[in-house]
A and B are shown apart, each in its own frame.
Chain A
């Protein structure tokens, strides 16, 4: 049963969808074209500089707004005879202005059309790429392995003791490991991509953020972290994404940095009581030796610790060669 809060949010979301539908239904042509262009131009005049996603569509609206070159020069004037003089000059020059502006407008229209075709093709390519892309990564974790007292928290704390620089844990959930590492004097923070996972801690002082892990690591200055702990996130990703995640983690840690991976074993992944997300991911967990080989290719020496139950394992990797 939904809470009153969730029901209200769903209602507002429904209103938003109805507004979108109504805007689409009215479509272009609801306003005189010149008015629509002027209003579009006004709206976009101070639009944010680097908007991701909608950027090309916004820019095309600006192009469209500027395509038509008006040969009718304004003739308003503060001086009594000014408007008359301007009107006369405009009449004299209008044949010439029209000839020039017609050609400029025709050129601008052709460019605009070409850009729209390009936009269409890019949009189709994007749709095709999205259709063929693997599903977005999910966090796969067993509750008993993602809370204080999990067997691997102690070894991670021991391995990272004395780490210089910040320690990132992803997916951090409610910050259980961040708190445990902070209690050992480490400067730890956490990232979790799951909506609402860190919400309960928005108002306390732990540095927990709801962000995509890959995007977060991409925004870390190379070599700026002391260690990265990835748990629950590698198992939920496709092969390529796993590799990218780990490459970014390796890049994010300094020369003395450590990368830690916690992964479920294959048997645990296939067990009847496996986390439900295990059925949704595009790849199975790697064997520990595979991580050893992959991390070795990245200049890291990996050490594996199996869980006492044998259902999951920990990989601790340190750099063997100077950071490139």
Chain B
């Protein structure tokens, strides 16, 4: 199997899939699927929806089968997407999600969408030898894991959000045949919330692709010319800390007048108030993005809710030091393990960190060097996919040997939302 020369039929279940999908977990599933095909030559299929938007789950892509970089993709319509009642229930459960009843939690799951009974039927009927679910949060994973007979590997992609504490997810985590984490911090979080320590696991993460550069100065791409700048890459979104970073930076500039600018690169979900020192580029192609990151003084990841954060590693791949949100354990763990970044837990700390970094080129060089070495050691695709392939092989072998724990399928209440979807058009 895998690097031992054998082959394994692997299926991925993920609610969105494709190059047009912006989302860390879904993009990670796509990367793993493509690399298993490309580097191991394994047959890999994906069961997913027709949606690209994780709020509405509207069917916008055509249902049916297609191929993406050698990966066979089966798309299914959703019986329902996120429903208006979701917001009321979410608001009620959010303060103490661990207190929700199983019925409330199951209803939360179904109202959140996408409800995909056809997808679940299809994956249950597939001949895959291992089925990988990614991420934990949605109906296809929770219900799919209840139905699938093949060994199930769950990639939780979990962060410390209220939903993680809902009782509907407990059996999903403890019932997995194996867990694949992005970071040790994610594992600690899961073990703190659910009794999963006994489940076979691996801390894998994702590989960092080769750096793509367009050969331009970052200032030429952003229009900032020779001004120094801090960059923040990823969805520009209040939930990702973008509004907070913009406010922190505005305050910093009031107290530290000068040429320093802030550049946001990524799709815009939250409007950042206009400011003469803040540039929002929107989505850039890989070459332009590479140029902008490469010339940044520092890359900032303001998000508190990450399970991995590829953008942190991509900055290090370009030898750019990083600053992360102190309350985000996975990105902070990257910084602590590598010695390649600093963190902030308040405006005061943000200010001191930025002052220090801007004034100390030796520190920036040290952080950049250490971050780069960390990426080289742990996050190169060939080594990473070989570990993953060996892990999947071991999961399969454990199931064949009968040493996997017996399946526990606690009866779950249903709310009637999981009705049949319309038949898929040929």
Contact = CB atoms under 8 A, between A and B. Distances in A.
A94 interface: no
Contacts of A146: none
A205 interface: yes
Given A16-B342, A221-B195, A48 B356 contact: no
A50 B201 CA distance: 23
Interface in B244-292: 244, 247-248, 251
B327 A51 contact: yes
A31 B351 CA distance: 11
Interface string A281-303: 00000000000000000000000
B307 to A, nearest CB: 11
B251 A31 contact: yes
B174 interface: yes
A115 interface: no
B367 interface: yes
6 contacts: A26-B352, A31-B348, A166-B198, A187-B398, A207-B202, A224-B198
A45 interface: yes
Interface stretch (B24-32, B38-46, B111-119, B386-394): B386-394
B191 A48 contact: no
Given A12-B339, A35-B251, A19 B405 contact: no
Interface string B165-199: 10000000010000000001001100111111110
A15 interface: yes
Interface of A: 8-9, 11-13, 15-16, 18-19, 22-23, 26, 30-31, 35-36, 38-40, 42-43, 45-52, 54, 58, 164-166, 168, 185-187, 189, 202-205, 207, 209-211, 215-217, 219-222, 224-225, 252
A315 B70 CA distance: 54
Interface stretch (B127-135, B140-148, B154-162, B411-419): B154-162
Contacts of A221: 174, 195-196, 198
A19 B197 contact: no
Contacts of A12: 339, 366-367, 370
A224 B174 CA distance: 10
Given A166-B403, A215-B191, A222-B195, 8 more contacts: A12-B367, A18-B356, A42-B243, A45-B244, A50-B192, A187-B403, A209-B184, A221-B174
Interface string B364-399: 001101100000001000010001001100100010
Interface size class of B (residues with CB under 8 A): 35 or more
B357 to A, nearest CB: 9
B244 A42 contact: yes
A191 B254 CA distance: 50
Contacts of A45: 238, 244
Contacts of B405: 165-166, 224
Among B195, B349, B394, B405, which residue has the most Cβ atoms of chain A within 10 A?
B405
A194 B160 CA distance: 26
Contacts of A16: 342
Contact of B196 (A30, A210, A217, A219): A219
Contact of A19 (B200, B248, B353, B404): B353
A203 B378 contact: yes
B197 A216 contact: yes
Contact of B339 (A9, A36, A46, A205): A9
Interface of B: 97, 159-162, 164-165, 174, 184, 187-188, 191-198, 200-203, 238-239, 241, 243-244, 247-248, 251, 303-305, 327-329, 339, 342, 345-349, 352-353, 356, 363, 366-367, 369-370, 378, 383, 387, 390-391, 394, 398, 401, 403-405
A257 to B, nearest CB: 11
A50 B160 contact: yes
B79 to A, nearest CB: 29
A46 to B, nearest CB: 5
Contact of A46 (B184, B203, B238): B238
A295 to B, nearest CB: 21
Given A19-B356, A46-B239, A221-B174, A39 B200 contact: no
Contacts of A36: 347
Contacts of A40: 346-347
Nearest to A166: B198
Contacts of A215: 191
Contacts of B239: 46
Contacts of B191: 211, 215-216, 219
Given A48-B327, A49-B165, A220-B198, A39 B304 contact: no
Nearest to B240: A46
Contacts of A26: 348, 352
Among A48, A51, A217, which residue has the most Cβ atoms of chain B within 10 A?
A48
A15 B363 CA distance: 9
Contact of A47 (B243, B327, B342, B378): B327
